[in-house]
Amino acid sequence: MLDGSLAHPRPAALATVVGVVNGLTMVLSAWAIGWTTDHLVIPALAGREVSRATWWVAVGAILGVSTVRWTTIVLRGIASGRVQHAAQARTRRAVVRHYLDLDLGWHRRHSPGRLLSTAVSDVDAVWLPTAFLYFALGMVVMLVVAMVQLMTRDAALGAVGLTLVTSVLALNLLYQRALTPRAQAAQAARGDLGAAALESIDGGQVVRTLGLVDHEERRIGDAAGRLRAANVRMGDVSSLFDPMLELLPTGAILAVLAVGAGRVESGALTVGVVVEVVYLLLTVSIPLNVISRFLGMLPMSAAGGSRVAAVLESDNVTRFGARRLADEGPLDVRVVHAQVTRGSRVLLDDIDLHLAPGEIVALVGATGAGKSTVVDLVTRQIDPTSGVVRIGTPTTDGVDAVELAADQVASHIGLVAQDSWLFAGSLLDNLVLDGHPREARSYRDDEVEAALVAARADEVVRALPDGLDTIVGERGGRLSGGQRQRICLARTLLRGPRLLVLDDATSALDPAVERDVLDAIADLRGRTTVLVVGGRPSSVAIADRVVLLDRGRIVSSGTHAELMAAEPAYGRVLDAYGSAQHRV
């Protein structure tokens, strides 16, 4: 919180000053009431003459103190809020920008939902106490002044005041201690119920088909019952503590009257002072509650803070060098002795793979053979645990992918991933993104059209009433799977990559469409290096060479015919439909 104040010194300084002044006005307004009682109310109602000046002083004191008080309330609120929101925005920006820099491996280990809640709720929680910081600070000053003043007036009254302050604070701390675990339990129960309800409703079709309605009603009923119990446990605590905290000052006021009566009788105190103390105690519960609320927020803030720090301090950031890829033309990719392990599992075991410039290579293997890991390697989504990936051009030697500058991979290598992911904007925005990656210009209409035709996405666009201006919705949700896949293909083709990687990127297409798309890919032969991943016979047909992957190792490489002849495993993976058809 201190660094937040230092980062925004002007509103922080203002909030501190007006916070303290506001605290003092609470003491002053009690004093004004007491003075008015002694010098105006009692003498006037006892029939004694009261001077005009006294009237004016009384009214002026009450209104004057009040004016200072409400102005400082407004100023303190605005200044605190400015510090809070500015600090929030600063932290949040740092967190989300760090998300963009962290590598894919890190992202795969963290659920998007968790990251979202860190960027939104955790950052909020970190800075929430700031809203009460300056308020609480002023109240502490006020309490000190009030207690000192009480003590100097009368030790016994001071003792009553001190007892009140300590018991309210103690009670508040007890309250927080009792409430915090219960609030966390309620929060967890709420989360459980939400997850269970979402699952149950999302899976509604299954629930109905399998006749699980009663079972689900019981399951959700149990979760709702647990939330009810958690909320009630929380309510039970506040049911007792709230009225106690509210009524403690009343008790203190009664004590002041009992003690004060004797003092007034003996002439040690005036009635006005007793009224002043009563008035002060009546308002003292506000600062005490603010201070406890502030203290109560600190654990939550710290918890949020540690989650935010965990993100900001993680250094799984992809490192880049400064090398750039020269001239034009298809890329030359060499994966040399690459080993990839995750934990104790070996995903890729000593892989050697060469993609010659302009060559079309198909990578085939059963589910779990490690195809996607090879894709990650050649597109530099991950780096090999050992070994090296060299990326070169027809005329230059390969550069270790690790030494490439930050923008190089994205501007020279195109990937069409398994899941077709689109941004929420328009179709056109999704296609052009930031324009041509290497020539720093926007695309011409004919380039967009050509990419759409090659991906057979032109008919998708034509079928939509708004054409390229169609808003595709969150993650492209308004398009069907096949439509999304074609748009993703067009997006990558439009960028004119020098290495094109298709990771099972035609799975959602009808055979006829897939054939056209693969024909268009085949036309890139010689101009772009292409790696086609997936065990589909149609994609193998356009490949110059096929590489067979099995349990993390390359077991064979050659033309389709060679592999058919030499590798029974290859036939099994690839020819399933063919043999099925022969049997029918």
Partner 1 sequence: MSEHPPPGLADLGRSSARDVLARVRQTSPSIVTGLWLTVILAAVAGAGRIVTPLTVQQALDHGLLDTDADASSVVAHAVAVGAGATLAALVASWWLNRRVYRRLEQALAELRTAGVARVHRMAPETAATTRSADLVTRLTSDVDAVTTFAQNGGVVLLVNVMQMIIAGVIITAYSWQLALPVLALAVALTVAMTRIQSVVATRYLAVRESVSELQTTVGEAVAGIAVVRSTGTRARMAADLDAAVDRTAAAQRRTLVPLHVNTALGEIAISLMTVAVVVLGVRWSSGASGWEPSLGLTAGEVVSMLLLVTFFVRPLQSLVQMLGEAQNAVAGWRRALELVTAPGGTVGGEAHDLPSGPISVRLLDVSAGYGGPPVVHRLEVAIDSGEHIAVIGETGSGKSTFAKLVTRQIAPSRGVVLLGGVPIGDVSDRSLQRRVAIVPQDPFLFNVTIAENIVMGARSGSWDLDAIVESLGLGPWLDGLPDGLSTRVGVRGARLSAGERQLVALARTALVDPDLLVLDEATSGVDPATDVRLQRALSSLTAGRTTISIAHRMATAQGADRVLVFDGGRIVQDGAHDDLVTQPGVYARLHDAWTEHITAGA
SS3 505: coil
Cα distances (angstroms) measured from residue 113 to each of 93, 94, 109, 191: 18, 18, 12, 12
Q: Least Å distance between CB 334 and partner 1?
A: 20
Identify the CA nearest to 297 among candidates 127, 98, 509.
Answer: 127
What whole-number distance in Å separates Cα of residue 1 and Cα of residue 8?
Answer: 11
One-letter amino acid of 247: L
The residue (of 395 and 427) whose beta carbon lies closer to partner 1 is 427
Q: Are 455 and 427 in contact (CB under 8 A)?
A: no
CB of 176 to partner 1, least distance (A): 14
Give 9 or 204: the residue with its C-beta nearer to partner 1: 204
Of the pair 352, 466, the CB lying nearest partner 1 is at 466
- Residue 10 neighbours by CB distance under 10 Å: 10
223's CB contacts (< 8 A; 6+ apart) are 189, 192, 193, 196, 197
Taking the least distance from each CB to partner 1, the nearer of 148 and 317 is 317
Nearer Cβ to partner 1 (116/170): 116
For residue 202, the cross-strand partners are none
The smaller minimum CB distance to partner 1, of residues 355 and 570, is found at 570
In the complex with partner 1, the residue whose CB is nearer, 260 or 296, is: 260
Q: Which is nearer to partner 1, 78 or 302 (CB)?
A: 78
Q: Which residue, 29, 19, 147, 158, is CA-closest to 80?
A: 19
The least distance separating partner 1 from the CB of residue 566, rounded to whole angstroms, comes to 15
> Residue 128 is which amino acid?
L
Question: Please, what is the minimum distance in Å from the beta carbon of residue 201 to partner 1?
Answer: 4
* Of residues 25 and 393, the one with the C-beta less far from partner 1: 25
Q: How far is the CB of 262 from partner 1 (least distance, A)?
A: 6
CB 124 within 8 A of CB 81: no
DSSP codes of every residue in 171-215: HHHHHHHHHHHHHHHHHHHHHHHHHHHHHHHHTHHHHHHTT-HHH
- In angstroms, give the least distance from the CB of 145 to partner 1: 19
| Shortest CB 147 distance to partner 1, Å | 21
To the nearest whole angstrom, how small is the minimum distance from the Cβ of residue 115 to partner 1? 5
* Smallest distance, partner 1 to C-beta of residue 552, A: 13
Report in angstroms how near the CB of residue 93 gets to partner 1 at its nearest.
Answer: 5
Please, what is the minimum distance in Å from the beta carbon of residue 112 to partner 1? 4
- Closer CB to partner 1, 73 or 402, in the complex: 73
Give dist(CA 372, CA 504) in Å, integer: 9
CB of 533 to partner 1, least distance (A): 12
∠ Cα 476 444 516 (to 5°):
60
Phi, psi of 110, deg, nearest 5: -120, 130
Tokens 């939509």, residue? 464
Q: Are strands 413-416 and 499-503 parallel, antiparallel or unpaired?
A: parallel
Compute CA distances 33 → 39, 184, 265, 315, 565, whole Å.
10, 44, 21, 61, 104
- Cβ neighbours of residue 174 closer than 8 Å, sequence gap 6 or more: 241
Q: In angstroms, what is the minimal distance from the CB of 397 to partner 1?
A: 24
Closer by beta carbon to partner 1, 339 or else 507: 507
Q: Yes or no: say if 409 and 398 are a contact pair by the CB < 8 Å rule.
A: no
Specify the residue, 152 or 211, whose C-beta has the smaller distance to partner 1: 211
Say if residues 478 and 471 touch (Cβ distance below 8 Å).
yes
| DSSP notation for 213-282 | HHHHHHHHHHHHHHHHHHHHHHHHHHHHHHHHHHHHHHHHHHHHHHHHHHHHHTTSS-HHHHHHHHHHHH
- The SS3 assignment for 509 reads coil
367 vs 397, which CB is nearer to partner 1?
367
